[in-house]
Every structure is written in C-alpha cells, then in structure tokens.
Structure 1
Amino acid sequence: MEKKLNSTNSFESFAMKVSKAAGSTAAFSVAFIVIIGWAILGPFFNFSAGWQLFINTTTTIVTFLMVFLIQKAQNKDSLAIQLKLNELVASHEYASNRLVDIEELTEEEMKIIQKYYARLSRLSQKEESLLRSHSIDEAQDLQLFKEEMREERDEKIEKSKRQKSPQQKTTSSKVNTNRT
C-alpha cells in the first residue's frame, strides 16, 4: 500500500511539473522553434508524406498525453481550492455552512443557490456600507430589520417635524405681530 501511495504522489508531482513547464515561455519557444524547423526542412524532404506524418504524429501524441497530465494537475488544484474555500466558509462566523462541499451538489441545486445569491446581491445594493457582508441565512432577515429601522427613523423625523410645525407657526405669528 505504501508503494502505491508513493507512485501516485510521484505521478502527481510529475503531472504538476509537466503542467507548469508546458505553460512556460520556454515551452512555447521550444514548440515554436520545432514548427519553424519542421517548416524549413520541408523543401529538403520535398514536402513528402513522411515529413507531414512526422509533425502530425508528434503533435497528436503530445496533445493526447498533455490532456491527461494537465487534467490531473487541474483536478488537484481544484480540490485544493475547494478545501481552502470550505475551511474559510466553515471558520467564518456569519457564513452559511451549507456552502461547505457545495461542489457535490447537482447543477440544478447549484442554480437554486445561485438565485439566492442574486437576490442577496440585490439586497446588498440597498446597503449603505460597501464593507457590510451578508450570508444567505441572514440576508433577508437583516434587510427586513433595516427596513423596519428606517421606517421607525422616518416616523420619528416626521413626528418631530409635526411637533416643530405648530411651534414655528406660533413663533412666526409672534414675529409678525411684533413687526406691525
């Protein structure tokens, strides 16, 4: 069992190294030079079928193998990112733990959650502070609370204006009588 783990780890290591190397400037340069060299050698081989077969076979084999190596590296990277995100979600006090392991849901289930986030985005656009964040679970309750608080504030302001209004009338009538 130990030997199998090591061979898997060495394959993962190999896949990661090849994936990084394939995406480098040096790899592009080598591929470009090979293509230019192949094109330059064409007249020397009279543009023969063997000359064409060489580049076709080489690129097909390299492409075929690279698909699997890059996919292996991508799977590992994706898993690492998901684990890191799960840790962040699980450790944050206000985050919804329902999002941990969300990648295991079906696409339909993810679309439902995406609709919640679209609604959350609309709710947060009403938020005055750009730094305030919400989770799915608290967003609607918090928005209702804010609306209630704003209504109470507006009612107090309106009440204050009504109370000041009669005082202003009496004050202005006193000013008017003093002027005459």
Structure 2
Amino acid sequence: MPTDITGRLSLFDRVATHADRFASRAWFFATCVLLVVVWAPSYFLFGSVDTWQLIINTVTTIVTFLLVALLQNTQKRADDAVQHKLNAIAEGLAGLMSHHAGERMDLAECRAELRAAVGLEDRESA
C-alpha cells in the first residue's frame, strides 16, 4: 500500500485543483470562444498581420502552457488516489480469500496470483 498519500495538499496542489475546477466549466470554454470572436475582427485595428497573429498566439500559448502544467498535477493526484483504492480493494480481496481458503488450494493459488498481479507484498499480520 502506498504510504506517501496524505490528506493534506500543498499550496501548488490546491492551486492546481482550483485551476482544474475553473477550466472544466462551460463558462471558461465560452470565455475562450468569446476571446477568439473579439480577436478576429481586431485585424482591422492593427496595421500588420504579424502583430495581429502574435497577440493571439502569445496569449493562447501562455494559457495552454500554464493549464497543462496545472492539470497534469491534478491528473497525477487523481491517478495516485485510484491506484491507492485499487490496492486496498486487492488487499481486502486477498485477505478474504486467505480467510476462506483453509485447505482449498485453488483459493490459495488464486490469492497468490492476485497478490503477484497487483504487486502486493506478503506481510505478517501484527
């Protein structure tokens, strides 16, 4: 079982969680669409196509770069939590199989295969 999973989140993890909630809302997408809609006719305000493209490219690149970093953090924590839960289920199932195995070799073999498949160590109960 992973022992490095705690209930406390660091400041960065909390910021990443808020960014995930913020970016996953429909109104965030609508704001992005609105940005493009406002940007498109701004072509006539700038004398150069290069300036016009540079503005949207810079804004979208910065937002994408930051969101990818933050959302990757959130995804990793979610994956770690799922793995932790799966390990707990596998360990509980292996314990249940051990309890009911008794002399039944088929359950003992299945238990050993389950523990090997998910990488659980055999431990003595304290």
Query: Per the shorter chain, which TM-score range?
Result: 0.5 to 0.7
How large is the Cα RMSD of the aligned pairs?
1.9
Matched residue, 1:39: 40
Matched residue, 1:59: 60
User: Taking structure 1 as reference, are residues 36 and 13 closer, same or farther at Cα in structure 2, changes over 3 Å only?
Assistant: same
**Conserved? CA contact 1:12–1:72, under 8 Å:** yes
Relative to the length of structure 1, the TM-score reads: 0.48
Matched residue, 1:20: 21
Q: How many residues align?
A: 95
Matched residue, 2:78: 77
> Residues 149-177 of structure 1, C-alpha deviation per residue, up to 9 Å, x if partnerless?
xxxxxxxxxxxxxxxxxxxxxxxxxxxxx
Unpaired stretches in structure 2, ≥5 consecutive residues = 1-8, 98-110, 121-126
- Aligned equivalents of 1:42 and 1:101: distance in 2? 59
Unpaired stretches in structure 1, ≥5 consecutive residues = 1-7, 103-180
User: If you compute each CA radius of gyration, which structure gives the higher value, 1 or 2?
Assistant: 1
- Aligned equivalents of 2:45 and 2:119: distance in 1? 59
Which one has the bigger helix percentage? 1
User: Taking structure 1 as reference, are residues 61 and 83 closer, same or farther at Cα in structure 2, changes over 3 Å only?
Assistant: same
Map 1:50-129 to 2 at 5 A. 50-92=51-93, 93-94=96-97, 96-101=114-119
Matched residue, 1:156: none
> Residues 99-134 of structure 1, C-alpha deviation per residue, up to 9 Å, x if partnerless?
4458xxxxxxxxxxxxxxxxxxxxxxxxxxxxxxxx
> Identity rate of aligned residues, in percent?
32
- Structure with the bigger RCO (C-alpha within 8 Å, sep 6+) is 2
**Conserved? CA contact 1:38–1:55, under 8 Å:** yes
Query: 1:60 aligns to what SS in structure 2?
Result: helix
C-alpha deviation, 1:84, in angstroms = 0.6
- Aligned equivalents of 2:30 and 2:55: distance in 1? 19
